[in-house]
Amino acid sequence: MTSIRIKNLTRTFDTVRAVDDISLDIKHGELFTLLGPSGCGKTTLLRMIAGFADVESGSISFDARRIDGLPAHRRDIGMVFQNYAIFPNHTVAGNVAYGLKARNVPAAEIKSRVDKALERVRLAGYGPRSPHQLSGGQLQRVAIARALVIEPAVLLFDEPLSNLDAQLRTEMRIEIRQLQQALGLTAIYVTHDQEEALAISDRIAVLRQGKVEQVDTPERIYRTPQTAFVAEFLGSTNMVPGIAGAFDGRNTHVAAAGTEFAVRGEIAPPGAPVLLSLRPEALRLGDGSDGPRIQAHLTLREFLGPMQRLHATLPDGTQIRISALGAQAFDVLPGASLALAYDPAQIKAFPSP
Ligand SMILES: Nc1ncnc2c1ncn2[C@@H]1O[C@H](COP(=O)(O)OP(=O)(O)O)[C@@H](O)[C@H]1O
Ligand SMILES: [Mg+2]
């Protein structure tokens, strides 16, 4: 097991600060995800850790050992890429053996380690096959076996599931998570898919324009985003601008979207512009409980099986989305008014940009 310490890492391409003074501490055995939109610097940061991109300033250490001066093949990492990077003219076994041959491991040991790695990714017996005979999911398993076979201290994944269809993605992410946990490996996982990040990570760093916005567990990243960017990136939240009003000792009253919201805590001085984040599941319909509520009009209902997504307008015309259970309030027709209940503690407020 290996911990990773990244200190003040920076990398510039022409005028773009792809990685801008990033510091992170990744623990032994953690699956740590770098999450953010395309172009935010995830791949550049991962390639710097792998040794495929130069470090302009800052340092990278595995445990107490500084590794940013070492060539890639001496860093003790296994890497899995989005496009698999499988050699088409080698057999499956030849692909998996690649890193062992480069390290001059004896042939008999190569055979047993390749077999074991293929077994781990549920491809026992596939060694003699050609990559052409394999599906996308199987090819990615070969790539994972190739990364595992060298018994690396650290596993790096760069969007490994992006080329697979939706169902396979959700299956493979569980396989990756189980393998990483079973082997107790420290892993850094890059994705732009927020659901994938929430599903498999111990902790997530949300990146934006080369900088870290927040590092936290999936639950805390989702429930207590520290910035409006994190709130918006994680789950399709409703962002509603408003003006803070009086604090009543418990909640701050905020005028927004032609109505008034109660938000837990003293969030801003009266008169300050704020942005409210209302999660689609934080607004409840047909709810008999006490507590604050707002009025809205139903405009459209999307039935999604176990769930439905309701589209509604607030008094000033602002459009919002609400998640409800599949069977809830099915007698409500578009145009009808809805009373939406909420818990003031579930509404997050951010300074207006
Ligand atoms: N080799 C390169 N040359 C020039 N610009 C690059 C290079 N690699 C990345 N960039 C730029 O750095 C930024 C971050 O890119 P990247 O790390 O690939 O982001 P991500 O993986 O999050 O999509 C982008 O603006 C990208 O255009
Ligand atoms: Mg990338």
> Which CATH number is 217's domain given?
3.40.50.300
Helix (H) or strand (E) holding 113: helix 107-120
Is a pLDDT exceeding 80 seen at residue 203?
yes
- Tell me, what's the pLDDT at 233? 94
Q: Whose CA is nearest to atom 4 of ligand 1?
A: 13
- Looking at 232, 251, 285, which one is the last position of a domain? 232
Atom of ligand 1 nearest to the CA of 38: 23
Is a pLDDT exceeding 70 seen at residue 178?
yes
Which ligand has an atom closest to residue 162 CA? 2
Q: Percentage of the chain surpassing pLDDT 90? A: 90
- Tell me, what's the pLDDT at 331? 76
Give φ, ψ of 104 to 5 degrees. Answer: 60, 35
- Looking at 232, 266, 282, which one is the last position of a domain? 232
Q: Is 76 in the same domain as 166?
A: yes
Q: How far apart are CA 280 and CA 309, in angstroms?
A: 8
Q: How far is CA 62 from CA 6, 8, 31, 77, 235, in A?
A: 9, 15, 15, 10, 33
Lowest-confidence segment of 48-57, 193-202, 264-273, 290-299 by average pLDDT:
290-299
Ligand 2 centroid from CA 38, angstroms: 7
| Average pLDDT of span 135-160 | 95
Mean pLDDT, the chain, whole residue set: 94
- Tell me, what's the pLDDT at 61? 98
Whether 38 is in the pocket of ligand 1, judged by its Cβ within 6 Å, is yes
Is a pLDDT exceeding 90 seen at residue 211?
yes
Q: How far apart are CA 296 and CA 303, in angstroms?
A: 19
- Looking at 210, 232, 254, which one is the last position of a domain? 232
Long-range (24+ apart) CB contacts under 8 A made by 25-28 are: 26/186, 26/188, 26/203, 27/3, 27/186, 27/202, 28/1, 28/2, 28/3, 28/184, 28/186
Q: Is 125 in the same domain as 59?
A: yes
Which ligand has an atom closest to residue 53 CA? 1
Ligand 1 centroid from CA 41, angstroms: 6
Structural domain that includes position 332: 236-351
pLDDT tens-digit readout, 309-353: 999 999 999 999 999 887 777 778 889 999 999 999 999 999 987
Is a pLDDT exceeding 80 seen at residue 288?
no
pLDDT tens-digit readout, 229-261: 999 999 889 999 999 999 999 999 999 999 999
Lowest-confidence segment of 95-104, 166-175, 218-227, 321-330 by average pLDDT:
321-330
Q: How far apart are CA 16 and CA 13, in angstroms?
A: 5
Q: Is 31 in the same domain as 172?
A: yes
Is a pLDDT exceeding 70 seen at residue 218?
yes
Q: Is 223 in the same domain as 258?
A: no
Q: Is 28 in the same domain as 77?
A: yes
Atom of ligand 1 nearest to the CA of 37: 22
Q: Whose CA is nearest to atom 24 of ligand 1?
A: 39
Q: Is 135 in the same domain as 279?
A: no
Ligand 2 centroid from CA 42, angstroms: 6
Q: Is 130 in the same domain as 58?
A: yes
| Average pLDDT of span 56-80 | 95
Query: Which amino acid appears at position 53 of this protein?
Result: A
Which ligand has an atom closest to residue 160 CA? 2
Q: How far apart are CA 173 and CA 163, in angstroms?
A: 13
Give φ, ψ of 175 to 5 degrees. Answer: -60, -45
Q: Percentage of the chain surpassing pLDDT 70? A: 99
Question: Which CATH number does the domain housing residue 335 bear?
Answer: 2.40.50.140
Q: How far apart are CA 295 and CA 87, in angstroms?
A: 60
Q: Is 151 in the same domain as 192?
A: yes
Atom of ligand 1 nearest to the CA of 46: 17
Q: Is 227 in the same domain as 250?
A: no
Q: Is 114 in the same domain as 134?
A: yes
Q: Is 108 in the same domain as 208?
A: yes
User: How many separate domains does the chain show?
Assistant: 2
Task: Let me know: does 282 contact 347? Beta carbons within 8 Å.
Answer: yes
Whether 53 is in the pocket of ligand 1, judged by its Cβ within 6 Å, is no
Whether 89 is in the pocket of ligand 1, judged by its Cβ within 6 Å, is no
The full DSSP string for 226-259 is SSHHHHHHSS-PEEEEEEEEEE-SSEEEEEETTE
Q: Is 96 in the same domain as 212?
A: yes
- Tell me, what's the pLDDT at 287? 66
